Structure 1
Amino acid sequence: MSSTNKHRRVRVLLPLSIGDVYDYRAPDSLNIEIGHFVTVPLGKREVVGVVWEEAINSVLAEERMKDILSVLPCAKLPPESLKFIDWVSQYTMQRRGRVLRMAMSVPDALYPKAPRTGYRFTGELPEKITAARQRVLDVVSEGGAQTATDLAAIAGVSTSVIKGLAVKGVLETVNLPAEAPLQPANWQHAAFDLSPDQDTAATALTSFVAEDSYHVALLEGVTGSGKTEVYFEAIAACLKEGRQALVLLPEIALTAQWLARFEDRFGARPVEWHSDLSQSIRRRNWRAVIDGRADIVVGARSALFLPFSKLGLIVVDEEHESSFKQDEGVPYNARDMAVVRGKIGGCPVVLASATPSLESLINARNGKYEYLKLPSRYGGATLPNVNIVDLKEHKLGSQRWISDPLREAMEETLSMGQQVMLFLNRRGYAPLTLCDTCGHRLQCPHCSAWLVEHRLMKRLQCHHCGFTSALPKCCSECGAEESFKACGPGIERLVEEAEALFPGRRIAMMASDTISSPRAAAEFVAAMERGEIEILIGTQIVAKGYHFANLTLVGIVDADLGLAGGDLRASERTYQLLSQVTGRAGRESSSGTVFLQSYLPEHPVIEAIARQEGEAFFKLEAAGRESAGMPPYGRLAAVILSGTNAESVAGFASELARQAPMGEKITVLGPAPAPLSMIRGRHRYRFLVKCTKDIPIQSVLGKWLQGRKVPNNIRLQIDIDPYNFM
């Protein structure tokens, strides 16, 4: 054995927020390869990391070099994952270790789970048969080994009965797999009948999959056109080729109908990945992905960082959704990163939406993406009729939010046995609570935000940090008792009004704080499908993906709500959300109607929704962005400073401003207090860096911030391509 082999050095990346790769000796006995998960010494502790690359030019002195301690019993992190983590780190200007941590989110999965002990019938009968023993015999005689816990539960006995029968030779122990096996999806199970438009789009997507090469396709289709069935055919083609598919969905916990449609098509449920899963399920699913046993994964944005060993297709459904943008931790946009992951892995990417993002639409129209369109609803269903209710003419009475035209339409719809949905994108009872005597407003003590009353919980809540408190009995400013008044409507207040207007009708509310799990969402959907709900009142979670055959009337209570967002995408987001909401009406044989209440009926967004002229709206939006040099025609990055001491943050912001980059193609706006100037007790200042598309914005930021020591009491965060301007 040569001395070179003895002293081979490799670089190991650790999932930490500080540092980068560290050089270690790779003992020959461990047969270490790039991508292996390994344990290494770090100071006085042992940590798990990934062998990232050969340390060919390592300059660390031999006496300071430490050995890798062990290789974990887990498949290697695939080369595509290593490249993806590197790319995301460079693009977002975040430490590689922070990005790696997203790929290693289930540390237990790096170790194999011990086999379970099962019990099965030997054919021998005990000398004495009690009632409890007989129940166990009845279960085990049907064949198949089961754990003691499962057998006891089925037979209605304690586990001691099971173990007693094993001692007497009636049952024998066998090793069972550590975890229940995944049910594979069957690409031939039950294909849907496709319309000619769907078939054309599906043929294009399946050809990309068959080529096994990088393509990006924008699948645009009106609400109800059957986009899901189209990309299901691409998934089937991927399965046929023996490769893995990933589907990213927004608000993954609320996709009961999507999962049911998937099971109808493929005969099994997909492997899920989202925050509502138990730790044991997350462990099993992560391991199944890296081992290649998970053939189809459906997940939230974080599923993009799973260690796929043979990824053959990525689908981003509702690609326009702002929830694909992560603001905390490593800020990234999962839609954009999905395109990068597809390029690195050489596989096709499908972006699907009824209202595509301006970025994707322009890429499709410029020929950068394939452009596939579904112009009409499936099965002959027609788009709903949209009526604007001008609230300057149809004045709402005191403490009323449902206009007379909408109320009359609701009465008519309900009388025909059809369902109604009222949409208001505001949780709780009221967005603001103030003292009727002195005007004092109840504000979160940790954030510059008003407390929202949640009357069902009998609490006031901050929607930014989660702080809650009871409604005070007297005003802290003037001392007046029982003087607090709710201002403005939330959906709880809308429920109250609907109950008064339609007594005896079955009314239900759907919001993120009332639907807390996938099971709760599935039960809610089932109740809606059975007709047990006549009036559904909800926030944005009811706007996307749901298909209720008997829902024919949608009332948008405050269509102007999102237009005051104050950021560059406020109009686009509002248009997309309202389009999705209107798309819930009349999705089958009965035609749908939408009433859109607005004080701004002449606003381009409201007009575009009413006339169903998406093309005209996006042309206007694109022209405005282009003239301002805003994305997708320019680049943006945010630099956010925060700290518990407002003066320190302001002082450091001024210091940075004096050295801000300057140039003909670069503009630095700020520093200025953020619109939400305090969150969770931290004062916040923002810079916004704007430049033309040909300028590498990461390089601009890197030169500006290089060598600047950030005070210990201040946090500096960089957000490339920001979506949140608060």
Structure 2
Amino acid sequence: MNRVRCLVFNAAIGPLDYRVPDGVVVEYGSVVTVPLGPRQLTGIVWEEERLPTDPVPAEKLRPIAAVLPIPPLRAQLRRLIEWTADYYCAPLTAVARMTLASGGALKGPATMTEYRLSGGMPERMTPQRERAMERLEGEQATIRELADMAGVSDGVLRGLVAQGVLEPVEVDCDRPYPPADADFAQPELSDDQRKVADQFTAAVEARRFAPFLLDGVTGSGKTETYFEPLAAALRAGRQVLVLLPEIALTTAFLRRFEDRFGAAPLVWHSSLKSTERRRAWRAIAEGPEKSGAQVVVGARSALFLPYANLGLIVVDEAHEVSFKQDDGVRYNARDVAVMRARFESIPVILASATPALESLQMAESGVYERVELPSRFGGATLPDIATIDLTEHKPDRGRWLAPKLAEELQVRLDRGEQSLLFLNRRGYAPLTLCRNCGHRFQCANCSAWLVEHRLSSRLACHHCGHEEPPPALCPECGEPDCMVACGPGVERIADEVRDILPKARVALVTSDTLNSPDKAAAFIAEAEAGAIDVIVGTQLVTKGFHFPELTLVGVVDADLGLEGGDLRAAERTYQQVAQVAGRAGRGAKPGEVYIQTRHPTAPVIAALANGDRDAFYEAETEARRDAGAPPFGRWAAIIVSSEDEAEAKQAANRIGGTRPDHPDIAILGPAPAPMAMLRGRYRYRLLINARRSAELQNVIRDWLGALTFPNGVRVGVDIDPYSFV
């Protein structure tokens, strides 16, 4: 090729044509550096017919500056980028940028200097040096990364380098990963598991697109079942992607993987150091034969990595809401995973004990093949479930646990068994008031209440991350020592457990306390060693954990998820409670679950108590069908925001005033968003309900594409929204 079309990483301009200098070889998917005015930008060489633009005379073309030393992005990945941008109404460059998620990886092979403790001592010990040496034991990384780990400045560590306390280590950035062995430890599978595993394995060996919905009760051994097709992919020299919804789940999964295959997989998530991201990205792009990058376990962003030879995708806990990204490119990793498998012509397994209604409907219509594991592995039985009506069995004054649940906690403690209490609310209390004047402590950047966190002695906003210390005086009336906590969070429940069971060892499990894989590993080790009696946690504890001695689960407030404007509230509540209930009785001992509720006759609560999942899903399906809601209709949201309230309102009204008149589409709004201010920006929303026959994305693109907005206004489109704040 002597001229090429490039997708240039600048959202303000379209594709651009460039000349290929003599002797330079490029192909579709090559990542290049190109000039634009005085600047140098990154771009990807793309097929001309797929990026139409006005032709430019050959004599006006500027030459490509450089071809970056990485493998070209394969056609399958380019088709995925195009589909994602088209379906989610996102800029093509924004999606393409997600594939080049490590800037360092684009620079080619390299070595780098990392540092580690040498065992020596500094000439003079300071509190900062002491803290650094304590926290960096066993760590090796760059100065910047070590400084972040230790919570000190770069200068403190450079002083330790000068005194020989930190020693330099030259590291090959691209050293291969230890290979996994498909036959390292053969598992014992039940007849049901073997049947399902053989079905998956046949699809891997056939190298064909095959979407499976693995619908197995909690504790049925879904992981062991999909490990078998994973092994088949390894034997064929192909790569595997396993998506997990939470970083905290990674630790337990990695151990199970290493026990089965003799080596750890690659991990991909936002907490990786830059050097780890670079190494993983290049290894994935080069393929398993060169780099040992066979299996990648990651968060949703791992979907867009440039796999050289993908053979299988697994989405574990496929119902999880955290697979939906709510900013930037607003995609759902579950659905994008199915499309990537389609473009790659490989199987994809969506595994869940409580599948999303959309997934069940796809199976019902024959698009997905549904395979079931109806019973727990090894003879374990599902737990007995009972409700506690809080209107009749009220907790004691100032408490949140009903007497019956408190009694059962004591029984488990006396037996030496473990209990778990679930409340999906972080912090100590969701609302803090002044007892004198009633002032509510609110976030300065959002229309949200500040949540009291007593463990960290902070008031925190769970939407923007703003934190501040509790004030000594009420900012409204000046009253000292005035704060009153209203309602329970998990910290308050943990305090109550310590009060009623003073001898119990209590673990608090939230995204605040398990915010790294190392902390998650420490928690799992303690729980398995019997060093924890009662676990109190948020939705983080509802999935993935397997503790044989855990025999009691208490749901503190099952009604919490039914409040607010979430249109999937009933389904989400069912999934969360069913998943946390599934933590009980996974070993030889039977389990019991108590659900505290003020509405025991509500359909979702009754279905949980009766263990009648099918009845709940049937009722929810009919309600969705009547409302034209997914999967029978389509939703989309348009979110307008600005730092200027009048500007945001004017832009939203302009969008609403030019709404298309379409017989298959209903448009509601604009109206102030439920979260009317977020991160300092005023927000308005329009909600779109469309029949499945409508070309929704084309309608939205034509509608918004005809409008212009001030520079301070952001207009976002959310296809298939999960968040309605």
Does the pair score TM above 0.5? yes
What is the Cα deviation at residue 159 of structure 1? 12
Show the counterpart of 2:121.
none
Show the counterpart of 1:60.
56
What is the Cα deviation at residue 28 of structure 1? 3.0
Show the counterpart of 1:111.
107
What is the Cα deviation at residue 58 of structure 1? 5.8
Show the counterpart of 1:94.
90
Show the counterpart of 2:333.
334
Are positions 1:683 and 2:682 aligned together? yes
CA contact (8 A) 1:227 1:352 kept: yes
CA contact (8 A) 1:15 1:99 kept: no
Are positions 1:202 and 2:201 aligned together? no
CA contact (8 A) 1:16 1:97 kept: yes
Are positions 1:39 and 2:30 aligned together? no
Deviates most, 109-118 or 527-536 = 109-118
Q: AA paired with 1:499?
A: R
What is the Cα deviation at residue 111 of structure 1? 1.9
Are positions 1:473 and 2:491 aligned together? no
Q: Which residue of 74, 85, 95 maps to 2:81? A: 85
CA contact (8 A) 2:664 2:690 kept: yes
Are positions 1:696 and 2:692 aligned together? no
* 1: CA distance, partners of 2:12 / 2:183: 48
CA contact (8 A) 1:23 1:58 kept: no
Show the counterpart of 1:706.
705
Q: 1:705 to 1:533 in 2, by over 3 A?
A: same
Q: AA paired with 1:310?
A: N
Instruction: Give CA deviations for 1:658-716 in whole Å, capped at 9, x if unaligned.
Output: 21122332100100111000001111000011110011100111221122101212110
What is the Cα deviation at residue 622 of structure 1? 0.4
Give the SS at the match of 1:332.
coil
Show the counterpart of 1:244.
239
CA contact (8 A) 1:301 1:324 kept: yes
CA contact (8 A) 2:173 2:275 kept: no
Show the counterpart of 2:154.
none
Aligned residues between the structures: 672
What is the Cα deviation at residue 647 of structure 1? 1.3
Aligned residue runs from structure 1 range 666-681, under 5 A: 666-681=665-680
Q: 1:712 to 1:403 in 2, by over 3 A?
A: same
What is the Cα deviation at residue 599 of structure 1? 0.6
Is there any run of 5+ residues in structure 1 with no aligned partner, and where? Answer: 119-146, 150-157, 162-174
What is the Cα deviation at residue 404 of structure 1? 0.3
Show the counterpart of 1:235.
230
Q: 1:622 to 1:552 in 2, by over 3 A?
A: same
What is the Cα deviation at residue 605 of structure 1? 1.1
* 2: CA distance, partners of 1:62 / 1:188: 57
What is the Cα deviation at residue 177 of structure 1? 5.0
* 1: CA distance, partners of 2:163 / 2:464: 48
Instruction: Give CA deviations for 1:198-244 in whole Å, capped at 9, x if unaligned.
Output: 11111111111111010100000000000001111110111112111
Q: AA paired with 1:670?
A: G
Deviates most, 246-255 or 674-683 = 246-255
Show the counterpart of 2:128.
none
Q: Which residue of 20, 27, 52 maps to 1:26? A: 20
Show the counterpart of 2:359.
360
Deviates most, 476-485 or 626-635 = 476-485
Aligned residue runs from structure 1 range 434-513, under 5 A: 434-513=433-512
Give the SS at the match of 2:23.
helix
Give the SS at the match of 1:28.
coil
Show the counterpart of 1:573.
572
* 1: CA distance, partners of 2:337 / 2:508: 34
* 1: CA distance, partners of 2:504 / 2:368: 48
Give the SS at the match of 2:443.
coil
Deviates most, 42-51 or 600-609 = 42-51
* 1: CA distance, partners of 2:171 / 2:498: 55
CA contact (8 A) 1:253 1:274 kept: no
Show the counterpart of 2:285.
290
Aligned residue runs from structure 1 range 411-450, under 5 A: 411-450=410-449
Q: 1:421 to 1:52 in 2, by over 3 A?
A: same
* 1: CA distance, partners of 2:177 / 2:585: 37
* 1: CA distance, partners of 2:624 / 2:221: 31
* 2: CA distance, partners of 1:557 / 1:477: 33
Give the SS at the match of 1:209.
helix
Aligned residue runs from structure 1 range 637-656, under 5 A: 637-656=636-655
Are positions 1:72 and 2:71 aligned together? no
Q: Which residue of 212, 215, 221 maps to 2:216? A: 221
CA contact (8 A) 1:185 1:269 kept: yes
Is there any run of 5+ residues in structure 2 with no aligned partner, and where? Answer: 115-139, 143-160, 165-169
Q: How much identity, in percent, do the aligned residues show?
A: 50
What is the Cα deviation at residue 478 of structure 1? 2.8
What is the Cα deviation at residue 43 of structure 1? 1.6
* 2: CA distance, partners of 1:638 / 1:588: 45
Show the counterpart of 1:302.
301
Instruction: Give CA deviations for 1:518-552 in whole Å, capped at 9, x if unaligned.
Output: 01100110000000111111111111010001010
* 2: CA distance, partners of 1:300 / 1:710: 34
Q: AA paired with 2:67?
A: V
Q: What TM-score, normalized by structure 1, do the two folds share?
A: 0.90
What is the Cα deviation at residue 272 of structure 1? 0.7
What is the Cα deviation at residue 191 of structure 1? 2.0
Deviates most, 104-113 or 59-68 = 59-68
* 1: CA distance, partners of 2:341 / 2:57: 40
CA contact (8 A) 1:216 1:370 kept: yes
* 2: CA distance, partners of 1:399 / 1:64: 77
Q: Which residue of 159, 179, 183 maps to 2:178? A: 183
What is the Cα deviation at residue 16 of structure 1? 3.1
Q: 1:178 to 1:473 in 2, by over 3 A?
A: closer
Give the SS at the match of 1:503.
coil
Show the counterpart of 1:127.
none
What is the Cα deviation at residue 553 of structure 1? 0.6
Aligned residue runs from structure 1 range 480-629, under 5 A: 480-629=479-628
Give the SS at the match of 2:184.
coil
Q: Which runs of 4+ in 1 moved over 4 A?
A: 54-58, 115-118, 158-161, 175-178
Please say which structure displays the higher CA radius of gyration. 1
Show the counterpart of 1:140.
none
Show the counterpart of 2:207.
212
What is the Cα deviation at residue 116 of structure 1? 7.4
What is the Cα deviation at residue 54 of structure 1? 4.2
What is the Cα deviation at residue 63 of structure 1? 4.7
Give the SS at the match of 1:684.
strand
CA contact (8 A) 1:116 1:177 kept: yes
* 1: CA distance, partners of 2:532 / 2:568: 34
Q: AA paired with 2:463?
A: H
* 2: CA distance, partners of 1:178 / 1:654: 52
Give the SS at the match of 2:47.
strand
What is the Cα deviation at residue 33 of structure 1? 1.2
Give the SS at the match of 2:4.
strand
Give the SS at the match of 1:326.
coil
What is the Cα deviation at residue 476 of structure 1? 2.6
Q: AA paired with 1:25?
A: R
* 2: CA distance, partners of 1:358 / 1:369: 13
Deviates most, 592-601 or 471-480 = 471-480
* 2: CA distance, partners of 1:662 / 1:319: 36
Deviates most, 545-554 or 252-261 = 252-261
What is the Cα deviation at residue 630 of structure 1? 0.4
Q: AA paired with 2:535?
A: L
CA contact (8 A) 1:108 1:283 kept: yes
CA contact (8 A) 1:255 1:545 kept: no
Q: 1:437 to 1:683 in 2, by over 3 A?
A: same
Are positions 1:323 and 2:322 aligned together? yes
Instruction: Give CA deviations for 1:493-520 in whole Å, capped at 9, x if unaligned.
Output: 1111111101122111111011121011
RMSD: 2.1
Show the counterpart of 2:125.
none
* 2: CA distance, partners of 1:296 / 1:18: 37
Q: Which residue of 11, 24, 34 maps to 1:17? A: 11
Q: 1:15 to 1:116 in 2, by over 3 A?
A: closer
CA contact (8 A) 1:18 1:97 kept: no
Give the SS at the match of 1:638.
strand
